[in-house]
């Protein structure tokens, strides 16, 4: 056998063994995060022992961004807090293509909402408070991957999956409720569609989401479902209640209660959430957020 063929076979054998070792150590890191091991040990593993295999035979340590995705999956709150406070920029950077198929999305934010990781979501929102205003707004309002999330923003995802605590935190930190997804729908459109299609037993949470959205929607807000409200007025009024329906259909201004709550919620700065919810005379549907984050 020619020497160059022997060398190539040996290289491939070594390459395959290295790849297997990388997969083994990668799984060990995944298990360590899953098992809620201490932060110091996880950081030692991330930087020194755990590697993952990339195209072309390249190996590298996990980035803070990729480690944060594992922390989100397994709800390892202390590890997520450490990563976000020590590496706020790199922890929220877009991970490699092995972890994220779209480099224009905000995968950590979307995953926090998808898995309902309210505590870690709050840590993410705290981390971006020091970002420049335009960068912070761009991050909050970034559309998700068109293949995985249909070009939805995180507010769309929160409405679609019925995540009231996540929705309120995002709105309170400046996420825009007026953005469209790839199909031209706002988060309100998605929510109204779900209210129309959902059984009566599941309507309470949907209406809770709707009431939270009301606190951040201006009068005359444009959304594509308004015409459907006008076409089936009685059915929508039965579903939403008279006051909600009249305002959304544009038949009456917002109630005095909604206006006063909008003014009150507008006095809360993002850095005061959720603690300020306990000190202001807010409606009961805002209180579970404060209790959940304190638990």
111 & 3 share domain: no
Pick the residue with more confidence: 112 or 295?
112
34 & 132 share domain: no
Question: Which of residues 33, 62, 91 is at a domain's end?
Answer: 62
Residue 285: pLDDT above 80? Answer: no
10 & 37 share domain: yes
Residue 85 pLDDT = 96
Question: Which of residues 62, 82, 107 is at a domain's end?
Answer: 62
Q: In the chain, which ranges are continuous DSSP H helix?
A: 3-34, 39-44, 64-73, 77-86, 88-91, 107-114, 118-127, 133-140, 154-160, 164-172, 187-197, 203-214, 226-231, 233-240, 242-248, 256-265, 287-294
47 & 80 share domain: no
150 & 269 share domain: yes
C-alpha 11/C-alpha 17 separation (Å) is: 10
90 & 53 share domain: no
Question: pLDDT tens digit string along 153-186?
Answer: 999 999 999 999 999 999 999 999 999 998 899 9
Question: pLDDT tens digit string along 224-263?
Answer: 999 999 999 999 999 999 999 999 999 988 888 888 888 8
Pick the residue with more confidence: 14 or 185?
185
C-alpha 89/C-alpha 62 separation (Å) is: 15
In this prediction, what percent of the chain has a pLDDT beyond 70? 77
Residue 38: pLDDT above 80? Answer: yes
Residue 54: pLDDT above 70? Answer: no
User: Considering the entire predicted model, what is its pTM?
Assistant: 0.84
Count of domains for the chain: 2
**Mean predicted lDDT score pLDDT of the chain:** 83
In this prediction, what percent of the chain has a pLDDT beyond 90? 49
Classified as helix, coil or strand, 61 is strand
Please report which confidence band the pLDDT of residue 7 belongs to, taking 50, 70 and 90 as the band edges: very low
The dihedral built from the CA positions of residue 152, 112, 64 and 16, taken in this order, carries a sign that is negative
Long-range contacts of 93-100 (CB under 8 A, 24+ apart): 93/63, 93/64, 93/65, 94/65, 95/63, 95/65, 95/66, 95/69, 96/54, 96/63, 96/66, 98/52, 98/54, 99/65, 99/66, 99/69, 100/145
52 & 78 share domain: no
173 & 104 share domain: yes
Q: What CATH number is attached to the domain comprising 154?
A: 1.25.40.20
194 & 171 share domain: yes
Nearest CA to 80 out of 90, 89, 70 is that of 70
Residue 166 pLDDT = 94
Please report which confidence band the pLDDT of residue 22 belongs to, taking 50, 70 and 90 as the band edges: low
Residue 182 pLDDT = 87
Q: Which domain holds residue 73?
A: 63-294
Question: Which of residues 12, 32, 62 is at a domain's end?
Answer: 62
List Cβ neighbours of 194 (8 Å cut-off, separation of 6 or more): 159, 160, 162, 206
């Amino acid at each position: 056998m020619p020497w160059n063929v022997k060398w190539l076979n040996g290289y491939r054998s070594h390459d395959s063994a290295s790849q297997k070792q990388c997969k083994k150590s990668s799984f060990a890191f995944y298990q360590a995060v899953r098992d809620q091991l201490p932060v110091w040990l996880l950081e030692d593993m991330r930087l020194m022992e755990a590697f993952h295999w990339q195209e072309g035979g390249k190996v590298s340590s996990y980035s803070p961004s990729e480690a944060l995705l594992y922390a989100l999956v397994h709800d390892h709150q202390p590890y997520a807090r450490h990563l976000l406070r020590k590496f706020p920029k790199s922890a929220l950077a877009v991970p490699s293509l092995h972890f994220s198929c779209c480099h224009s999305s905000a995968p950590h934010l979307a995953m926090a909402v998808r898995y309902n990781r309210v505590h870690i979501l709050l840590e993410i929102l705290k981390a971006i408070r020091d970002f420049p205003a335009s960068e912070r707004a761009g991050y909050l309002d970034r559309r998700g991957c068109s293949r995985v999330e249909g070009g939805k923003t995180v507010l769309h995802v929160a409405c679609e999956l019925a995540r009231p605590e996540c929705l309120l935190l995002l709105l309170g930190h400046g996420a825009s409720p007026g953005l469209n997804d790839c199909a031209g729908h706002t988060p309100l459109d998605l929510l109204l569609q779900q209210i129309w299609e959902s059984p009566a037993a599941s309507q309470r949470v949907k209406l809770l989401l709707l009431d939270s959205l009301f606190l951040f929607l201006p009068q005359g807000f444009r959304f594509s479902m308004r015409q459907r409200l006008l076409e089936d007025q009685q059915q929508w009024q039965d579903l939403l209640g008279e006051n909600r329906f009249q305002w959304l259909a544009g038949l009456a201004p917002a109630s005095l209660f909604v206006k006063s709550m909008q003014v009150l919620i507008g006095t809360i700065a993002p850095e005061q959430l959720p603690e300020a919810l306990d000190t202001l005379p807010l409606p009961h549907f805002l209180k579970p957020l404060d209790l959940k984050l304190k638990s």
